[in-house]
């Protein structure tokens, strides 16, 4: 293939590529314009938006065949405002609101165990008893000694009134009576320590002891968990340290219960950021509705924080080209390309960073033939005339829409 054929084939490929870009890739128009392709050429090769109603005169009054610029029919949506939502995801482990490992206050042999695993007890309920014969004897002796001391003191008190007993003897007997009272109290305390009571109300776990076991003050009789509420500890990055606050709501999702969410609030915040991990410890209280949660479960914690306010546009309004993202703004029936920076994408809106006022109309549909500074007609706009569409007298085959833009 000679040189002329190669040059000709290359030219054909370039022309076809330009036509394809202009027709099927609207965002390439700005690039092609900077490469020297005129707007008239782009308008000729671009696919029309609507065969039956393509374009119309900008003001609706010029002749169809005149030299005035044709207005492109578009659909717009107003600019609103939205708040940037920062979301925090963390993993934490639950604990019972209160948990006590119950041990006896003295050593001895268990003579009775009154609870079993899964029982719900109240504070003060009896859990177990130790052998107490020796303590009972000591208590009974203290009762006898106290009764004797009281009788002796009473007799000498009567004799002192007739000067048959001295005040010194009476004071000595009074001290002996008081010592007997204290001895009885001490014996009763020792006897009470032979009974193991529940310090809090809650659910009893596995009971590891049985009747006849010898136990000491280190032997666990039962583990009681008050799990009407559970506490979940988790750690947040230091950038959230100034955002978390007491009472702030959280959502805890149980990884073991098919992702069931539970509501809770922040109950405690650490006083410092850990230097090794650069995280802050936070504690949340979760309501244990239905008693389905257990201490030791893992949870996914979610928190939402509101940030700065930004303009919000319809996702269809955001376009891209080689220079980045932008939107078409309609002002005075003219289209203006406005560069934007995307801040956050949501399901139905996009938050952008740009100098665009609230209520400004942005093009969402029909932007294929839109050019910088070109006239546009907003689809569905109403004017002083009741006639929305008519027929061009010179071209009966072309339906011409004649809406009048507001403000002019």
pLDDT at 408 over 70: no
> What pLDDT was estimated at residue 172?
86
Most confident of 24-38, 64-78, 220-234: 220-234
Q: How confident is the model at residue 67 (pLDDT cuts 50, 70, 90)?
A: very low
> What pLDDT was estimated at residue 267?
94
Average pLDDT over residues 336-360: 90
CA distances from 15 to 3, 10, 35, 37 (A): 18, 9, 13, 11
> What pLDDT was estimated at residue 281?
94
> What pLDDT was estimated at residue 273?
92
DSSP codes joined into one string, 4-56: HHHHHHHHHHHHHHHHHHHHH-GGGHHHHHHTT--HHHHHHHSPPS-SSS-EE
Q: Which residue has the higher pLDDT, 89 or 259?
A: 89
CA distances from 387 to 60, 333, 380, 402 (A): 12, 20, 12, 8
Average pLDDT over residues 17-41: 64
Q: Encode pLDDT of 98-143 as tens digits.
A: 999 999 999 999 999 999 999 999 999 999 999 999 999 999 999 9
> What pLDDT was estimated at residue 403?
33
pTM for the predicted model, two decimal places: 0.55
Q: Which residue has the higher pLDDT, 346 or 69?
A: 346
> What pLDDT was estimated at residue 69?
56
**What percentage of the chain reaches a pLDDT higher than 70?**
79
Average pLDDT over residues 39-59: 48
| Residues 104/324, Cβ–Cβ less than 8 Å | no
Helix, strand, or coil (residue 188): helix
> What pLDDT was estimated at residue 286?
94
| Residues 369/43, Cβ–Cβ less than 8 Å | yes
Q: Encode pLDDT of 150-173 as tens digits.
A: 988 888 877 777 776 677 888 888
| Residues 307/85, Cβ–Cβ less than 8 Å | yes
Strand 350-353 versus strand 298-313 pairing type = antiparallel
> What pLDDT was estimated at residue 53?
38
Question: What's the rounded Cα separation, in Å, for the pair 328 and 76?
Answer: 9
| Residues 274/224, Cβ–Cβ less than 8 Å | no
pLDDT at 327 over 80: yes
* Lowest mean pLDDT, pick from 7-11, 165-169, 179-183, 388-392: 388-392
Average pLDDT over residues 182-199: 95
Where do you find CATH 1.10.287.470 in the chain?
132-193
CB within 8 A of 222, min separation 6: which ones? 102, 115, 127, 204, 205, 207
pLDDT at 311 over 90: yes
pLDDT at 66 over 80: no
pLDDT at 57 over 80: no
CATH class of 132-193: mainly alpha
**What percentage of the chain reaches a pLDDT higher than 90?**
51
> What pLDDT was estimated at residue 87?
82
CA distances from 238 to 87, 241, 273, 285, 307 (A): 14, 5, 7, 21, 16
Task: Tell me the average pLDDT of the chain.
Answer: 81
Average pLDDT over residues 383-397: 35
> What pLDDT was estimated at residue 31?
62
Reduced DSSP (H G I as helix, E B as strand, rest coil) percent helix, strand, coil of the chain, to 5: 25, 40, 35
> What pLDDT was estimated at residue 63?
41
> What pLDDT was estimated at residue 195?
95
Q: How confident is the model at residue 46 (pLDDT cuts 50, 70, 90)?
A: low
Tokens of 26: 């609207």
Q: Which residue has the higher pLDDT, 408 or 69?
A: 69
Q: How confident is the model at residue 32 (pLDDT cuts 50, 70, 90)?
A: low
CATH class of 57-81+310-401: mainly beta
> What pLDDT was estimated at residue 187?
95
Strand 70-78 versus strand 376-378 pairing type = parallel
Q: Encode pLDDT of 205-260 as tens digits.
A: 999 999 999 999 999 999 999 999 999 999 999 988 888 999 999 999 987 888 78
């Amino acid at each position: 293939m000679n040189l002329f054929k190669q040059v000709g084939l290359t030219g054909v490929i370039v022309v076809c590529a330009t036509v394809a870009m202009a027709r099927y890739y609207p965002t390439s128009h700005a690039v092609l314009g900077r490469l020297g392709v005129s707007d008239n050429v782009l308008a000729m090769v671009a696919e029309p938006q609507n065969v039956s109603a393509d374009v119309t005169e900008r003001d609706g009054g010029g002749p169809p065949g005149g030299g005035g610029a044709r207005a492109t029919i578009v659909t717009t949506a107003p600019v609103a405002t939205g708040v940037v939502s920062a979301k925090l995801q963390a993993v934490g482990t639950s604990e019972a609101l209160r948990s006590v490992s119950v041990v006896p206050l003295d050593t001895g042999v268990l003579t009775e165990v009154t609870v079993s695993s899964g029982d719900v007890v109240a504070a003060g309920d009896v859990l177990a008893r130790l052998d107490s014969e020796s303590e009972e004897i000591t208590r009974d002796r203290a009762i006898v000694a106290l009764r004797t001391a009281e009788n002796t003191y009473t007799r000498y008190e009567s004799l002192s009134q007739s000067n048959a007993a001295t005040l010194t003897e009476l004071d000595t007997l009074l001290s002996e009576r008081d010592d007997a009272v204290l001895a009885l109290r001490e014996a009763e305390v020792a006897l009470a320590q032979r009974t193991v009571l529940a310090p809090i109300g809650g659910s009893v776990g596995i009971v590891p002891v049985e009747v006849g076991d010898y136990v000491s003050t280190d032997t666990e009789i039962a583990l009681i968990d008050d799990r009407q509420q559970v506490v979940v500890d988790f750690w947040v990055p230091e950038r959230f340290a100034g955002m978390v606050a007491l009472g702030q709501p959280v959502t805890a999702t149980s990884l073991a219960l098919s992702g069931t969410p539970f509501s809770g609030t922040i109950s405690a915040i650490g006083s410092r950021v850990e230097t090794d991990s650069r995280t802050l410890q936070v504690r949340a209280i979760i309501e244990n509705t239905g008693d389905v949660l257990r201490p030791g479960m893992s949870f996914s914690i979610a928190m939402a924080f509101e940030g700065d306010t930004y303009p919000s546009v319809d996702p269809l309004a955001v376009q891209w080209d080689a220079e980045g993202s932008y939107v078409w703004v309609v002002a005075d029936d003219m289209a203006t390309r406005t560069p934007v920076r995307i801040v956050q994408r949501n399901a139905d809106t996009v938050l952008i960073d740009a100098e665009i006022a609230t209520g400004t109309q942005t093009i969402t549909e029909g932007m294929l033939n839109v050019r910088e500074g070109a006239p546009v007609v907003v689809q569905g706009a109403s004017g002083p005339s009741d006639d929305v569409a008519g027929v061009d007298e010179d071209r009966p085959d072309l339906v011409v829409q004649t809406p009048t833009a507001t403000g002019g």
